[in-house]
């Protein structure tokens, strides 16, 4: 018997695996499909002891997901990760949004829901720091 022959079942399994691999997106395709602008904002509350203020701000931030240009929204608070010199967990609430383009992020800035958010919640924070980044080529 020839040891190099394979069974029909082995052939079908190998062929199926090969077809599945060709269907997977390449890293370049995956990178191209991701939003290209990330807008990260850190908020320091005027009254960090107020759970009500924190909850109001979080609720207001979550409403921003209704803005069409926002492709993804994450609202968070500092994680209880191991303390290290490079970690700044002095903020109280953060949000991270993803946009398809700088133009989309600019449209978000003047969208009525965003303008209303600033008007309604600015009294809760004493400091805001924003980091905007684009996908590196």
pLDDT class of 35 with cuts at 50, 70, 90: low
Q: What do you get for the CA distance between the two ends of the chain, in Å?
A: 55
pLDDT class of 15 with cuts at 50, 70, 90: low
pLDDT of residue 84: 93
pLDDT class of 137 with cuts at 50, 70, 90: confident
- 16 by DSSP, 3-state: which? helix
pLDDT of residue 33: 57
Average confidence (pLDDT) over 82-89: 92
- 50 by DSSP, 3-state: which? coil
pLDDT at position 47 over 70: yes
Q: Which CATH architecture has domain 33-80+89-134?
A: 2-Layer Sandwich (3.30)
Q: Break the chain into its structural domains and give their ranges.
A: 33-80+89-134
Q: Cα–Cα–Cα angle for 120, 125, 131, nearest 5°?
A: 100
Count, in order, helices (H) and strands (E) of the chain: 5, 4
Q: Does the predicted TM-score (pTM) go above 0.85?
A: no
Cα–Cα distance measured from residue 38 to residue 96, given in angstroms and rounded to the nearest whole number = 7
């Amino acid at each position: 018997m020839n040891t190099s022959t394979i069974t029909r079942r082995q052939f079908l399994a190998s062929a199926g695996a090969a077809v599945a691999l060709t269907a997977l997106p390449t890293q370049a395709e995956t990178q191209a499909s991701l939003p290209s602008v990330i807008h990260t904002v850190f908020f320091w509350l005027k009254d960090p002891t107020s759970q009500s203020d924190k909850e109001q701000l979080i609720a207001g931030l979550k409403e921003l997901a209704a803005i069409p240009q926002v492709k993804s929204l994450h609202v968070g608070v500092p994680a209880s990760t191991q303390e290290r010199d490079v970690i700044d967990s002095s903020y109280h609430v953060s949000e991270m949004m993803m946009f398809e383009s700088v133009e989309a992020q600019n449209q978000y800035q003047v969208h009525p829901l965003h303008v209303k958010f600033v008007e309604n919640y600015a009294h809760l924070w004493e400091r805001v720091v924003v980091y905007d980044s684009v996908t590196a080529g």
